[in-house]
Amino acid sequence: IHMEGSKKCDSRGALIVLEGLDRCGKTSQCSRLLSSLEKSGHAVESWRFPDRNTGVGQMISSYLANDSHLDDRAIHLLFSANRWEKRSLMESKLRSGTTLIVDRYSFSGVAFSSAKGLDMEWCKAPEIGLLAPDLVVYLEISPEQAAERGGYGGERYEKLEFQKRVAESYKTLRDATWKIIDATLPIEDVEKQLREIVMESVLTCGEGKPLSELWP
């Protein structure tokens, strides 16, 4: 009992990030994953970026709804600030043993802004020092198939031509550590694959893997 107790102190939650094009199914997979982990007794929370509940988040939301115009670099920095304002809470949650499932993170920041033509290295700079995910899962779908799913909500980026450029940016950005899941598979199959990949990462972090920062 004593051994187990001391082991628990070193263990932390995993930072799990889901990325993909709009309409790839990320958001429903995040909630399925959340309830599945909760059911098996894990301390887990589901987060998303942009977090529209903060002051910065409201500016982002109004930009996405085309209710306001902002310079490409200015909005890029707001998305980044929105992640920075949650950084210390993120760290304390992870250190206290809570796993975080995060719907979009710095990779969206770089993929969406570089799709507008901004330099990728410039886009990466403001993300330096944010917590590095333990796992990035990319839900892969072609822009055409995503568009066919319908239900683009009419927000600023939800247009086929733009999503094609975002897909190219993600290709440049991703590395060998990313796990790719075919997002066109039946929803239950995606869920099963995702859970398996995530459980591996949760176990590794439970064994005391140190936290690190972007960009690795």
- Exposure string over 53-80, b if 16+ CB within 10 A, otherwise e: eeebbebbbebbeeeeeeeeeebbbbbb
Asked whether position 112 contacts ligand DGP by CB under 6 A, the answer is yes
Chosen from ligand DGP, Na ion, none, partner binding at 64 (C-beta under 5 to 8 Å by type): ligand DGP
49 is an interface residue for ligand DGP by CB under 6 A: yes
Tokens 């733009």 belong to residue: 162
Contact assessment for residue 15 and residue 86, using Cβ atoms and an 8 Å cutoff: no
**By C-beta, is 22 or 140 nearer to Na ion?**
22
Q: Is 50 in the site for ligand DGP (CB under 6 A)?
A: yes
Question: What backbone torsions phi and psi does residue 64 show, to the nearest 5 degrees?
Answer: -65, -30
Residues pairing with 99 in the sheet? 44
Residue 12 or 76: the one with the smaller Cβ distance to ligand DGP is 76
Q: Which of the residues 167 through 206 are near ligand DGP (CB under 6 A)? A: none
Region near Na ion per CB under 5 A, out of 14-22, 29-37, 76-84, 170-178: 14-22
Residue in 112, 90, 93 with CA at minimum distance from that of residue 170: 112
3-state secondary structure of 101: strand
List the one residue from 29, 46, 99, 113 that touches ligand DGP (CB under 6 A): 113
Interface with ligand DGP (CB under 6 A), residue from 104, 143, 169, 194: 104
Site for ligand DGP in 62-81 (CB under 6 A): 64, 76, 79
